[in-house]
Amino acid sequence: MSGLRLTFVFGNFEKMAEFVIDKWRDISSEAIGSRGFFSVALSGGKTPVKIYRRLAGEVGKGLLRRKTHIFFVDERFVPATDKDSNYRMIRETLLDGAGVPMRNIHSLNTNLPDPASAAERYERDIASFFKLSGHNIPEFDLIMLGIGVDGHTASLFPGSPALEEKKRLASAVIFSGKKHSRITLTLPVLNKAKHVIFLVTGKRKAEVLRAVIQESDPSLPASLVAPDNGNLLYLADSNAGSLLREKEKKRV
């Protein structure tokens, strides 16, 4: 990987939020200036909720609102109104407040017959937006990710067949039992991004974050995110970053 790989540990939430807003502003301004639009893929989960609410004010600015295109890292195969829908959470915390035009929101269609159909449709939508041909991979300006206590990121879970995908842009992730099946961007897409930012909070994430950063444990999907030419930033609160060696982190 030729880009930067850095870990920042923040003393409080306000510092983390301001850092994310500054990065968003810098990355989006550069993208809009160079190719006329800013493409970002967002994750769900609890960690980014407060940051998305803070970002709404930044995204809501005129030029940025019109030129920002929002994609989704993953989604549960549930209706868009479901309490477990990533789209619903991101719409309520960020999109509604920012006033992003509907034409700029590239959500997954979960009204299709099955997750595989939804993944195929999402892949076609991404390819169309980025004007891709053949098996080319899109280059998102920014992808924001989280890490689960089991080391998963996006909806790429340990041992999942989706981890082996080399050409597809999106993959269905099928669960049996009560868990919702999902659709996720694949590793080739995550690793083509210009910037990847992990948001990690809470003491429960300390051990897995240490394993990802200090051991690059290949059994943990988050360890497999290593942008080919892009920048990789881990942003952690003091609890999540508590087990990292001092030389591995920058305190903010």
Q: How many domains does the chain have?
A: 1
Q: What is the pLDDT of residue 192?
A: 97
The structure's pTM equals 0.95
Q: Positive or negative, the Cα torsion across 97, 102, 105, 111? A: positive
Q: What is the pLDDT of residue 178?
A: 61
Find where tokens 């540990």 sit.
9
Q: Positive or negative, the Cα torsion across 23, 28, 33, 39? A: positive
Within 10 angstroms of residue 145's Cβ, the number of other Cβ atoms is 27
CB-based contacts of 149, cutoff 8 Å, min separation 6: 204, 205, 208
Strands (E), the chain: 5-10, 38-42, 68-72, 74-76, 105-106, 142-145, 170-173, 182-185, 195-200, 231-237, 250-251
SS3 195: strand
Phi-psi bin for 44: left (phi > 0), alpha (psi -120 to 50), beta? Answer: beta
CA atoms within a 13 Å half-sphere pointing along the CA-CB vector of 235: 25
CB-based contacts of 106, cutoff 8 Å, min separation 6: 69, 70, 71, 72, 125, 126, 129
Instruction: Kindly give the confidence (pLDDT) of every residue in the chain, 252 residues in length, as a single tens digit, with 9 standing for 90 and above.
Output: 468 899 999 999 999 999 999 999 999 999 999 999 999 999 998 889 999 999 998 888 766 788 999 999 999 999 999 999 999 999 999 999 998 899 999 999 999 999 999 999 999 999 999 999 888 999 999 999 999 999 999 999 999 999 999 999 999 999 876 689 999 999 999 999 999 999 999 999 999 999 999 999 999 999 999 999 999 999 999 999 999 998 888 888
- Cross-strand pairs, 75: 183
Contact 44, 197 (CB under 8 A): no
Q: How far apart are CA 46 and CA 49, in angstroms?
A: 6
| Type of residue at 206 | A
Where does residue 171 rank: exposed (0-12), middle (13-18), buried (19+ CB within 10 A)? Answer: buried
Domain containing residue 144: CATH number? 3.40.50.1360
Q: What is the pLDDT of residue 185?
A: 98
Q: What is the pLDDT of residue 63?
A: 65
Range of the domain at 128: 5-251
Q: What is the pLDDT of residue 1?
A: 45
